[in-house]
Amino acid sequence: MTLLSTRGLTRHFAGIRAVDGVDFDLPEGEIRALIGPNGAGKTTFVSLLCGRIAPSAGTVAFDGRDISHLPAHRRINLGMAYTFQITSVFARLSVAENVGLAARRRLRGRAKVEAAVAAALARVGLEGRAGALAGDLAYGHQRLLEIAMGIVQAPRLLILDEPTQGLSDSEIAGFKALIRELAQSATILLIEHNMSVVMETAHRVTVLNFGQVLAEGTPEEIHADRAVQAACLGVG
């Protein structure tokens, strides 16, 4: 079953097509990586999926429903959760309070919220930082906090934009394990520059270049694709 799809999805800014007629299908239960060179349109594409910006043309469908013109908060209510390249935590609230705000979107009752917060923080390895101010966390740990804020919403679709930025090698290894675990209950769209993360976690990979789909396939197929090598690695 296809959970998320786009048809002819387009967004232009001052005449520049950041996303240009993208057809995209994401089956339920899949880990899909979205890669491409800087300026390829990845973050604009994700912003269109999440409702942060409106399309110039084309459609976005979630679970068979056209959501092209739904605002972001209504897409969240349908079961989408996401993090972006620039962290959006509440710096003056504690780590637990940040996750608690996200938890209350779906849970009622203090005990249920506290249990869900504790579980989400444990899954991302921040259980020992629950009382710390979010703004005092290192950048990589703020990324993990955002993931916890997504997890606690129990989404059907979790979209992660550059989640491993700022993480140490050991934290990246833990993140790979986390993604595999999360995929048991959620569909995941992963925008990622770290190719070891892509190769070791994704079921399939979509490559964007100049706002269009350049290639799509398994990690092995994408790794061997000469057009992808030329676009992303400068080889060819």
Q: Output the DSSP codes for 52-95.
A: SS--SEEEEEETTEE-TT--HHHHHHHTEEEE-SS----TTSBH
pLDDT digits (tens, 9 = 90+) for 70-105: 999 999 999 999 987 556 799 999 999 999 999 998
CATH of the domain at 70: 3.40.50.300
In a domain, 115, yes or no: no
User: Does residue 87 lie in a domain region?
Assistant: no
Domain that holds residue 56: 1-75+189-236
22 neighbors 212 (Cβ within 8 angstroms): yes
Does some domain include residue 34?
yes
Please indicate, yes or no, if residue 98 is contained in any of the structural domains: no
| DSSP-assigned states of every residue in 197-220 | HHHHH-SEEEEEETTEEEEEE-HH
Confidence of residue 233 (pLDDT cuts 50, 70, 90): low
Flag whether 179 is in a domain: no
Q: How would you classify the pairing of strands 80-83 and 65-66?
A: unpaired
Structure tokens at 157: 């679709």
> Per the domain annotation, does 110 fall within a domain?
no
How sure is the predictor about 185, in pLDDT bands with cuts at 50, 70 and 90? very high
Count: domains in the chain: 1
Residue holding tokens 């892509």? Answer: 198
Classify residue 69: in a domain, yes or no.
Answer: yes
pLDDT category of residue 181 using cuts at 50, 70 and 90 = very high
Residue 83, in any domain of the structure: no
| Tokens coding 99 | 């996750």
* Strand partners for 34: 191, 206
pLDDT at 205: 97
From CA 191, how far away is CA 205, in angstroms rounded?
10
pLDDT on residue 88? 77
Give the model's pLDDT for residue 235. Answer: 47
Calculate the average pLDDT of the chain: 93
